[in-house]
Amino acid sequence: MVKRTNVQPTPIPSAPVTEPEKLSTTVRLTEVFDAGVRLEASNFSIEARNAVAKLRASGLPLVPLCGNEGLCQQPAKPFRLKRTSVSPDWGVPFLSSSDIISLRPKIERFLSRKLTPNVNKFLVEMWDVLISRSGTIGNVALATAIMAGKALSEHAIRLRSNDPDTAGYVAAFLRSRLGRPQLLQATYGSVIVHIEPEHLTRIVIPDLHPLRRIAIGRLMCEAGKLRDEANRLLDEADRLLHAHLNLPYLDSLTSSNSGCLTSRVKASQLAGRLEASFHDPIAIKAEQKLKQLPVEITTIGDERVTKEIRAITKFRERTYVPRGGIPMLSSKQIFQIDPIDVKRLAKGAHTKDLPEIQLEEGMIAITRSGTIGRVQIIPKYMADWTASEDATRILAASDINAGYLYTWLASDYGYCLITRHSYGSVIVHIDLDMLASVPIPLPVPTIRNEIGDLVLKANALRDEAWQKEREAIRQIENLTSIKV
């Protein structure tokens, strides 16, 4: 006989009562004065007000983002930096506001230590929170070792915290749907919009228990370290490529031999192209070096190298949706850590387009319009997203390591031999056949795999970094029961 007992069910805690999201709002006069007598509607963004309302309804203690009672120090007001560019040996590496969210920042400019007044005031410290403040507002990055010691443009704000975990927590919050709308509401300007450091004092952020804040911030710090390691592996793959093939870097050829800056072209070598850019002396020098290699030289279009070179030609009419849908990256956003303002395609309207425009893990994308020759290997988290027609897709053949193919195309030789084909006046382009004709060396498979496996490992680290950041942001957004 079974003895029955009365068991009281454990009540499920109810979600905090919050007001529904408003589509319109009333602004009090005191709010106008608190905002610095700002009368623009954008300064009282409904999305930002909804975010603050959810934070207040959650019952969490809130503090200003920066200032005396905030989690960060009050940032200094930016002032225009006098830029005198010099060679790398004599200068400080310079980061633009767009470089801070680059998956692989490439330093192309160095500022003179001697001729740049107060250059030390512009240097980034490890774990600074960097925020773009002009043009594109709201790009947020956490400065890791790869950025430390570099000069930062005046078009970005540096937020500094007392410890790395707090900085990571702040970065995650500003990238969430609770923080980013608050960041954007302070913009001002007509053609080019801006925000100022003092505007950040209006942003409120939950003052979580230290253990919880550390757990969230540490995820962001770990993600930053993973990306640094990924970039180190990509640099090592590039170094091995040059070492195994005994190829000098093109920079060394141009600096040591001034004669390579000019060239004489025979009529038989014109190849139907009369532009000087096609007969670039550096590209000719690169071709000569390839011909001297004791390995087979073929082209990107060789079926042993690529399974497909996919130029996007049919995707023209687009139907966008404000939420959900399929993320569609521009050719610029493919190279960003966390692109903002990503357009989203309606799933039903683009079912037939997906085989052409969808991204795949390990696919190589090369920009083909405007900025030519930037190369990206697609990480796992971007799989099933889409990208615009301004990026040509390359799928590696089954017998070649996709990482090796990426390393060659992204190298100084690959870039030079791709961009020489560009045509056009205002906006330059490169087409499928031109890309297919780019030469590529084929060393033995062991060398190709040694180089390519480093790239594939780096790609896996990028995916792991993305997942950690998503988890940190998800934990913040779940504080107010926001559905992610």
CATH class of the domain whose range is 248-263+272-292+296-442: alpha beta
Please name the residue that has the structure tokens 């795999």: 449
Please name the residue that has the structure tokens 């504080």: 479
19-59 pLDDT, tens digit each: 445 566 677 777 666 666 666 666 667 888 889 999 999 99
Does this model's pTM top 0.75? yes
Phi, psi of 386 (to 5 degrees): -125, 170
Residue 448 CA to residue 234 CA, distance in Å, equals: 14
- pLDDT at site 40: 67
Which residues of the chain fall short of a pLDDT of 70?
1-25, 31-44, 190-191, 255-261, 314, 481-484
- pLDDT at site 14: 36
DSSP, collapsed to helix, strand or coil, labels residue 183 as helix
Domain ranges of the chain: 248-263+272-292+296-442
- Name 85's bridge partners: 111
312-353 pLDDT, tens digit each: 876 778 899 988 899 999 999 999 998 888 999 998 888 888
Residue 407 CA to residue 247 CA, distance in Å, equals: 14
Residue 225 CA to residue 391 CA, distance in Å, equals: 28
